């Protein structure tokens, strides 16, 4: 398996149908991936579910199981969601072809989580808030909602296509040029960045930037920062610089 593929994690959030879980395991393996994660799956995998996972029982049986999305994404550097809905509240939404190209570059050196929502309801707003950007698969307005395992297949296929384009690049000079132009540094994991948002909230309160009691404005600012940082990730150096800025602001405000 290509090294970058080991950094892609397909996370199914509260999947209700064992058949969808099994079929997702199969299509993940079809496209050369193997990391399947489940958040609050059904208590038991049915015979039907295992049948749908034909020849991919290794992927199904090795799937990580988590009690919450936050737990599943804690060690991932970038979190990407999938959606059929649009709107300003949901942040940046990319066509699946464009978004998977970005994911392929990020996965060269970093773990990337791709969230797939519930069959009937998709991802909740608080889960979307954790995503740097969202992928949208163009479908008919008459029937826009895709089956869960079909959505997993399309995303995995598009990712695999980008990988094939890179693998097919011939000539050392040309390959080296590509690698240098798309080099993405090691990024901090989601769990390591979370305390930064809490600290920024405190700094904004110290600066009296937020009108007293306006929790909605605070939430909107933090969610916007999560989307902004989440699209590109953040390196240790960048994180330290921002933390240092917060420290200086806190010192100046306290001395006033």
CATH of the domain at 167: 3.40.1280.10
* pLDDT over 80 at 121, yes or no: yes
Cβ burial of 70 (10 Å; 0-12, 13-18, 19+) is: middle
- Give me the pLDDT at residue 109, please: 92
- Helix, strand or coil for residue 192? helix
- Give me the pLDDT at residue 185, please: 72
Cβ burial of 198 (10 Å; 0-12, 13-18, 19+) is: exposed
Q: Are residues 130 and 249 in the same domain?
A: no
- Give me the pLDDT at residue 101, please: 94
What is the span of the domain harbouring residue 240? 190-255
**The last residue of a domain, from among 172, 204, 232:** 172
Handedness of CA 71, 77, 81, 86 (dihedral sign): positive
* pLDDT tens digits, 171-229: 443 444 444 444 567 899 999 999 999 999 999 988 988 887 677 899 899 999 998 88
Q: What percent of the chain has pLDDT over 70?
A: 89
Q: What percent of the chain has pLDDT over 90?
A: 69
- Give me the pLDDT at residue 173, please: 38
Residue 178 lies in a domain: no
- Helix, strand or coil for residue 180? helix
**CA dist 104 → 65, 84, 166, 253 (Å):** 24, 21, 10, 43
Q: Are residues 136 and 236 in the same domain?
A: no
d(CA 146, CA 118): 11
Residue 177 lies in a domain: no
Q: How many domains does the chain have?
A: 2
Long-range contacts formed by 30-33: CB under 8 A, 24+ apart: 30/56, 30/153, 30/156, 31/153, 31/156, 31/157, 31/159, 31/160, 32/1, 32/2, 32/5, 32/160, 32/163, 33/1, 33/5, 33/8, 33/156, 33/159, 33/160
- Give me the pLDDT at residue 41, please: 97
Mean pLDDT of the chain, nearest integer: 88
- Give me the pLDDT at residue 252, please: 87
* pLDDT over 60 at 93, yes or no: yes
Q: What is the pTM of this model?
A: 0.85
When pLDDT is cut at 50, 70 and 90, the band that residue 87 belongs to is low
**Cβ contact 189:111 at 8 Å:** yes
**Cβ contact 153:30 at 8 Å:** yes
Average pLDDT estimate for 5-9: 97
Q: Are residues 122 and 224 in the same domain?
A: no
**Cβ contact 111:75 at 8 Å:** yes
């Amino acid at each position: 398996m290509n090294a970058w593929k080991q950094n892609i994690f397909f996370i199914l959030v509260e999947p209700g149908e064992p058949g969808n879980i099994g079929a997702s395991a199969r299509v993940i393996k079809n496209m050369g991936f193997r990391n399947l994660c489940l958040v609050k799956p059904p208590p038991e995998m049915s015979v039907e579910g295992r049948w749908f996972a034909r020849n991919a029982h290794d992927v199904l049986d090795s799937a990580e199981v988590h009690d919450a999305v936050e737990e599943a994404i804690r060690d991932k550097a970038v979190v990407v969601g999938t959606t059929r809905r649009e709107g300003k509240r949901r942040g940046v939404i990319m066509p699946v072809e464009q978004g998977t190209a970005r994911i392929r570059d990020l996965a060269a050196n970093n773990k990337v989580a791709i969230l797939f929502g519930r069959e009937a309801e998709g991802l909740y707003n608080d889960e979307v808030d954790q995503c740097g950007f969202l992928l949208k698969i163009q479908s008919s307005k008459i029937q826009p909602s895709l089956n869960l395992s079909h959505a997993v297949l399309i995303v995995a296929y598009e990712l695999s296509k980008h990988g094939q384009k890179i693998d097919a690049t011939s000539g050392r000079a040309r390959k080296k040029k590509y690698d240098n132009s798309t080099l993405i540094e090691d990024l901090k994991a989601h769990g390591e960045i979370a305390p930064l948002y809490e600290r920024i909230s405190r700094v904004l309160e110290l600066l009296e930037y937020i009108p007293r009691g306006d929790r909605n404005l605070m939430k909107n600012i933090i969610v916007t920062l999560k989307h902004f940082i989440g699209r590109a990730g953040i390196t240790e150096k960048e994180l330290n610089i921002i933390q240092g800025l917060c420290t200086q602001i806190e010192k100046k405000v306290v001395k006033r």
